[in-house]
Amino acid sequence: MPIKNRLSEMQPEIAEWRRDFHMHPEILFETHRTSKVVADKLRDFGCDEVTEGIGRTGVVAVIRGKANGSGKVIGLRADMDALPIHEQTGLDYASKTDGAMHACGHDGHTAMLLGAAKYLAETRNFDGTVVVIFQPAEEGGGGGREMCEDGMMERWGIQEVYGMHNWPGVPTGQFAIRPGPFFAATDQFVIEIEGKGGHAAKPQETVDSTVVASHTVLALQTIVSRNSDPTKEAVVSVTSFETSSKAFNVIPQRVELKGTVRTLSADTRALVEERLPAIAEKCAEMFGAKAKVNYMRGYPVMVNSEEQTEFAAEVARSVSGDCADAPLVMGGEDFAFMLEERPGAYILVGNGDTAAVHHPEYNFNDEAIPAGCSWWAEIVEKRMPAA
Ligand SMILES: [Zn+2]
Ligand SMILES: [Zn+2]
């Protein structure tokens, strides 16, 4: 079964929804208009249940198949939030909100899952139940985590979950996936180094926080090079180095370091979380300074389940003829929380040769809609085949 004819026919309508979302981007949990439009459409399509306010502004809807002998329940998830970026695409449907932009294609994800929901509610050609999940705050806010914390999986009896993200650089409408760890855990840290400030000409009377911080930045490099298992990926990046003085002749009292940690396994993540404060504190102590470390866990590693990944790839091949092996991604993905609760798979759909996501000239490619929607619909119809 290649692209579904009905979904090809619906492409202009779905693209229109997408462009409307694109014009009205909303950030993090502030997806009030988007959530309302989504919920209204789901009701119009005749979904059996539509619930708003899950994970603050998330929307969940239920579509029952023409039979329910299988007792299966599959969750399909899209993200709805935009980014705090000033759009520079020059499109006639560019963002109407200054400083907000759909620069990650979540407008496309939302529209594609709506398209699939409309098709599934029309046809109901499956034996089981579909739960469509529209989450806010994927871009750093943990909207997916909040939906899980609201008991979404238990409340709707979801047994497995699927997610999709568009991917610039992959040919339009082609798919790529990988089993196991796929997107990285994304943590952040702040290190405050307190020395003793003073006159730059009298270093003997100070504890130079700048020198301490410099040693700390270098010492942190040994976490990846010497502590972490070389066969496992890890990134420790110090991205900000700020002293409490801007003067030429003052040794600053304080330095604040900030950075990010990316890992692809729980044990490597735990190792970095243990080593980073140990190194920073002992390094400061070595020079007579003090370091205070705040290590903040973000999204966990996103892990694709073996069986569901194989199935997702098989569906992708049936829709687009092929499914590529995706590379590891050191970026984070909030869908990780849903995959921690239930088995499932996350797939990339090609956005073609476009600007990268999070770039001010990025735009979701509407030509990917028929393939994306067909993949959603096929996941349902193949996983829960009607008699
Ligand atoms: Zn993004
Ligand atoms: Zn995204």
Residue-wise pLDDT tens digits, 315-346 = 999 999 999 999 999 999 999 999 999 999 99
Distance 291 CA to ligand 1 centre (A): 33
* Residue 198 confidence (pLDDT) above 60: yes
Residue 160 pLDDT more than 70? yes
At 250-265, the pLDDT tens digits run 999 999 999 999 999 9
| Whether pLDDT at 151 is above 60 | yes
pLDDT of the residue at 387: 83
Decide if 244 contacts 197 (C-beta within 8 A): yes
Structure confidence at residue 147 (pLDDT) = 98
Q: Is the pLDDT of residue 239 over 90?
A: yes
72: Cα separation from own chain's centroid: 26
pLDDT at 4: 83
Distance 165 CA to ligand 2 centre (A): 6
Task: Output the CA 139–ligand 1 centroid distance in Å.
Answer: 6
CA of 83 to the centre of ligand 1 (A): 8
Q: Percent of the chain, pLDDT > 90?
A: 98
Mean pLDDT of 12-33: 98
pLDDT exceeds 80 at position 2: no
The Cβ of residue 71 has, within 10 Å, a number of other Cβ atoms equal to 11
CA separation for the pair 367, 299 (Å, rounded)? 31
Q: How far is the CA of 353 from the centre of ligand 2 (A)?
A: 17
For residue 331, give the nearest of 370, 364, 358 by alpha carbon.
358
- What's the confidence (pLDDT) of residue 141? 95
pLDDT at 375: 98
223 CA → ligand 2 middle, Å: 29
Closest listed ligand to the CA of 144: 2
Joined tokens for residue 21: 């979302």
Q: How far, in Å, is the centroid of ligand 1 from the Cα of 358?
A: 6
All residues with CB under 5 Å from ion ligand 2: 104
Q: Indicate if the pLDDT at residue 170 is higher than 70.
A: yes
Residue 71: per-residue pLDDT = 97
CA 17 – ligand 1 centroid, Å: 20
Q: What is the CA(343)–ligand 2 centre distance, in A?
A: 21
196 CA from centroid of ligand 2 (Å): 44
What is residue 83's predicted lDDT score, i.e. its pLDDT?
A: 98
Mean pLDDT of 290-313: 98
Is residue 109 predicted with pLDDT exceeding 90?
yes
Count CB atoms within 10 A of the CB of residue 5.
10
pTM, rounded to two decimals:
0.94
Distance 107 CA to ligand 2 centre (A): 10
Q: Which two tokens stand for residue 61?
A: 């809807």
For residue 104, how far is its CA from the centre of ligand 2 (angstroms)? 5
What is the Å distance from ligand 2's center to 267 Cα? 26
Residue 1: the pLDDT is: 52
Average per-residue pLDDT for the chain: 97
Q: Measuring CA to CA, which residue among 230, 199, 232, 234 is closest to residue 220?
A: 234
Dihedral of CA 164/169/173/177: which sign? negative
At 216 the pLDDT is: 98
Cβ-count burial of 201 within 10 angstroms (0-12 exposed, 13-18 middle, 19+ buried)?
exposed
- Interval 343-386: pLDDT, tens: 999 999 999 999 999 999 999 999 999 999 999 999 999 999 99
